[in-house]
Structure 1
Amino acid sequence: MIKALIFDFDGTIIDTETAWYNVFKDAYAQYGVELSLATYAKCLGTNLQTFNPYTYLVTHHHIQLDVEAFQTSIQQRHAQWMETETLRPGILTLLQQAKEAGLKIGLASSSSRQWIDVYMDRLGIRHYFDCFCSADTVTNVKPDPELYLQALEQLGIEADEAMAIEDSPNGAQAAVAAGLYTVVIPNEITKQLPFNTKHHTVTALEQYTIHDLLAT
């Protein structure tokens, strides 16, 4: 019996990922470099250790640039893009219905708590969550299962009592490795990527009630 939902954040609750990719892709193009989605996807849902888009032009293309200034420019462009971005369709209804059904709700994100808090406050959804697990609270982020295992512990439930809501291959891999039934709601970017773990895909979350989702 499912007693809790554990959500990923970036790309799942709010689509920050499409903005990041488009901003980086446009910036790379200014240097004559095409940033493929396959390359960029290495950092989706995880940290920048596998692929760091801020330094890649220097380390792999040997382009001379001020990395700090480049990073500042990218972050400013992303912030501008995100000014009009809001919750993904169906997320608010799912949070409301999950609470009404008596389910616990957790967050398991590879992002920092500071980053998450900015959007939690802006979107007004902090009160729905019973625990927050982020890059600050674990040693290993996704695709390692540590974030999900920590969330399970904080919620006081077993893996077979929770459902993960994810959007990326790295996130789905982490949730499945932790033993959770995993529902993937891909966004504009991640719907183009291959998923190698067992999961259930929901392409239009707004068409599902909490009861529909629990029955998948």
Structure 2
Amino acid sequence: MIKAIVFDFDGVILDSERIMYLVMQNLFHRYKVELPLSIWSQAIGTQHGFDSIGYLEEHAHMKIDREAFQEERYALFNQLVDKEEVLPGVKSVLNQAQELGLKIGLATSSKGDWPRKHLSRLGLSDYFMSIKSWDDVTKVKPDPALYNKSLISLGVNPKEAIAIEDSFNGSLAAKRAGMYCIVVPNAVTKQMPFGHVDGSFNSLQDVSLEKLIRYFSPELRKKA
């Protein structure tokens, strides 16, 4: 029986992944270098999956001041992302989870202060019983450690929880932890392979937790 739901943050709750890719494209264009989505996607849902500055140096044929580049990158990114609202359907799923008595967790490869800042800004902090982030593990997604820690914190077994992801790395982490996983791909993750997940939706607006719980609970399907 499903007892918990665990959200990813970037790309599921906040449309930050699209914004970061746009910022990186703009910075690369200054050096007349293209950043294909197929290359950038290595960085999505994890940390240190892709050395973007090394890639830029290689294709621009010059050394880049890494510290200055990163400072400008995050200044531009934060300027844009601080104006973003919660993605469609997130509040609906959170409210459904509360009404159904599910425990709600968050598992993100970002540093902990990042999701907490935006959950507070968006008025979502009180929904979450557990938040596990980069700070809590030695390896982030696609390693299952974040989800393993979330399951322990929520006090549920892997098959009693559904993960909501948007990226290959994130969904792979959830499946490696033994959980059910649905994905809601966005503009920068929709080309990723998701053959290993348990369901895919265009938007969280399309998600009925009651139907998902019935689908993932054999004992309920037998009674239907």
- On whether the aligned pair clears a TM of 0.5, the verdict is yes
1:23 matched to 2:14: no
Partner AA of 2:26 in structure 1: D
Q: Which moved more, 1:70-79 or 1:141-150?
A: 70-79
Unaligned runs of 5+ in 1: none
Q: CA deviation at 1:82?
A: 1.2
- Superposition RMSD in Å: 1.5
Measured in 1, the distance between the counterparts of 2:131 and 2:38 equals: 30
1:36 matched to 2:51: no
Aligned partner of 1:86 in structure 2 is 85
Does the residue aligned with 1:176 lie in a helix, a strand or coil? helix
Aligned partner of 1:76 in structure 2 is 75
Partner AA of 1:36 in structure 2: P
Does the residue aligned with 2:76 lie in a helix, a strand or coil? helix
Q: CA deviation at 1:120?
A: 1.3
Does the residue aligned with 1:34 lie in a helix, a strand or coil? coil
Does the residue aligned with 2:131 lie in a helix, a strand or coil? strand
The 3 A distance-change label for structure 1 pair 59 and 135 is: farther
Instruction: List, as ranges, runs of 4+ consecutive aligned residues in structure 1 with deviation greater than 4 Å.
Output: none
Q: Which moved more, 1:135-144 or 1:79-88?
A: 79-88
1:177 matched to 2:176: yes
The 3 A distance-change label for structure 1 pair 117 and 55 is: farther
Q: Which moved more, 1:78-87 or 1:183-192?
A: 78-87
Measured in 1, the distance between the counterparts of 2:82 and 2:156 equals: 36
Aligned partner of 1:137 in structure 2 is 136
Q: Which moved more, 1:159-168 or 1:82-91?
A: 82-91
Does the residue aligned with 2:95 lie in a helix, a strand or coil? helix
Could you state the TM-score of these two structures normalised by the residue count of structure 1? Answer: 0.94
Partner AA of 1:13 in structure 2: I
- Structure showing greater radius of gyration is 2
Aligned partner of 2:158 in structure 1 is 159
Partner AA of 1:2 in structure 2: I
Does the residue aligned with 1:97 lie in a helix, a strand or coil? helix
Q: Which moved more, 1:60-69 or 1:161-170?
A: 60-69
Q: Is the 8 A contact 2:5 2:162 kept in 1?
A: yes
Q: Is the 8 A contact 1:55 1:67 kept in 2?
A: no
The 3 A distance-change label for structure 1 pair 62 and 104 is: same
Deviations for 1:50-79, whole angstroms, at most 9, x for unmatched residues? Answer: 312244323564422321111111111111
Aligned partner of 2:222 in structure 1 is none
Does the residue aligned with 2:156 lie in a helix, a strand or coil? coil
Measured in 2, the distance between the counterparts of 1:143 and 1:196 equals: 15
Identity rate of aligned residues, in percent? 43
Does the residue aligned with 1:190 lie in a helix, a strand or coil? coil
Does the residue aligned with 1:191 lie in a helix, a strand or coil? coil
Deviations for 1:132-174, whole angstroms, at most 9, x for unmatched residues? Answer: 1100001110000111111001111100000000000000000
Measured in 2, the distance between the counterparts of 1:103 and 1:196 equals: 27
Does the residue aligned with 1:6 lie in a helix, a strand or coil? strand
Measured in 2, the distance between the counterparts of 1:55 and 1:96 equals: 43
Aligned partner of 2:7 in structure 1 is 7
Measured in 2, the distance between the counterparts of 1:196 and 1:69 equals: 39
Aligned partner of 1:128 in structure 2 is 127
Partner AA of 1:149 in structure 2: N
Measured in 1, the distance between the counterparts of 2:34 and 2:93 equals: 38
Q: CA deviation at 1:96?
A: 1.2
Aligned partner of 1:187 in structure 2 is 186
